[in-house]
Structure 1
Amino acid sequence: MTAQIPDEFIFKGKKYELIGIKGDDLFSPETFGMEPEMIHTACYRGFYAKYRFTREVLYLSELTINEKNNNYLPINGIKPIGNPLHEMTYRKLNLIIPFTGKIRLARNFLNEYYVHMGFQSPWAYETVLDITIKEGKVIDIKDRSEEFKLKWQEIKQQEINNVVDWINDAFSLDMDLE
């Protein structure tokens, strides 16, 4: 099992990683007629993306995808670049994402908490934000950094009783798993 490549966000000029989501998918290649296939063990879902907030509106700015049938269709008028036998990258997409829900973004990863499978946990970062979004616009930001720092202190005291559940949780972006 391998740690997964997280989606990246530029928010208020800083780079964050997506570590949780509640709501519909942010972006679905299937919407654009493509079927993603695993790129490598660090990307089981077959794609990863870069997003940015501009004037508090959410945009998809870049997408790297391995399309199962090499059927790389234009997105927002943009054609991909790269090796179609492996993966292709769409740059400068500027595609508005009308997402409604919550995302959890984190930055300043603490290497001592690295887990070599799935997505990293909130307590493995110095900064953790929960951002509520409605139709692509930010409506609330909650800084949860201190809360997750305390959570890690609790976790260090406990033994992992159910390894299967722990592994499944590591591969989930479900925000209810706190």
Structure 2
Amino acid sequence: MRAQFFDGFDFAQFKLSIVAIEHVDTFFSIESFGLHPIMYNEACLRGYTAIFGFNDDKMLTLHKLLTNNNGMTPPAIDGIAPEPFNSPAGDLKYELSHVMDYTGSILIANGFIDKYFVPFGFQLPHAFRKVYELTFDQGLFVHVEDRSEAARLLRIEYEEPVSSKKKMQMRLGKVLRKSEEYGFDDDTIAQYMDLSYDTKYLFDSL
């Protein structure tokens, strides 16, 4: 396993990364569309990646879905069939305007700081210079708050996740064509194996 692709979010004419979700279980379920993706690439173990945003009514909307359907005939979503497309998530692309009814908050971010890179799973929210918290009520966008200063304070509190020694071990592993886990101790691997956005939300800390 290695660092995973983020989902994206179209916000104020910019594309940011979703770095945490307050209520993952109610945010998005690809199975609800009748899709059953498998891992297509180690950088996207879920077998899908998505881009979200708002529609003209400020409703949370699924704009794009990159995925696969394990070789089976893919379903249409809202009457829209997928296009063939090659990505780390798979061989299908849906261009959509699918309205969602999520209630809760998400964190979106950009300006990643390289020294906070972790080699497994999703990157941590405080590893970004700009962090915004978006809040929704049954899909309606109701509030945005700049959390960048809180993220900066967290960077002061926490050490860099991977030491120079471990980074060298990771590079050596690539040269030797071994797994990226090469040379990492069990504690380091266990710390970053989680693939869930919710445990990285740091909702109480930000």
Match of 1:119 in 2: 122
Maintained 8 Å contact 1:20/1:105: yes
Higher helix share: 2
Counterparts of 1:125 and 1:146, CA distance in 2: 11
Shift of residue 116, structure 1, vs aligned partner: 2.0
Q: Is the 8 A contact 2:116 2:160 kept in 1?
A: no
Deviations 1:132-169 (A, max 9, x none): 11111112222111111111111128999x53552245
Structure 2 stretches of 5 or more lacking a match? 164-186
> How far 1:27 moved relative to its partner?
2.6
Residue 142 of structure 2 is matched in structure 1 by 139
Q: Answer yes or no: is 1:22 the counterpart of 2:46.
A: no
- SS of 2:159's equivalent? helix
Q: Equivalent pairs: percent with the same residue?
A: 32
Give the aligned partner of residue 192 of structure 2: 167
- Structure 1: which 5+ residue stretches go unaligned? none
Equivalent residue in structure 2 for 1:87, among 83, 86, 91:
91
Contact 2:120 2:189 in 1 (8 A): no
Q: Distance in 1 between matches of 2:38 and 2:74?
A: 12
Q: CA RMSD in A?
A: 2.5
Larger of the two Rg values belongs to structure: 2
Cα separation, 2, equivalents of 1:71 and 1:103? 32
Contact 2:119 2:192 in 1 (8 A): no
SS at match of 2:158: helix
Does the 8 Å CA contact 1:12/1:53 hold for their aligned counterparts?
Answer: no
Do the aligned partners of 2:3 and 2:119 also contact (CA within 8 Å) in 1? yes
Superposition misfits of 4+ residues, deviation over 6 angstroms: 157-160
Does the alignment pair 1:149 with 2:152? yes
Check conservation: 2:116, 2:162, Cα contact below 8 A. Answer: no
TM-score w.r.t. structure 1 length?
A: 0.86
- Output the CA distance in 2 between the equivalents of 1:142 and 1:45: 29
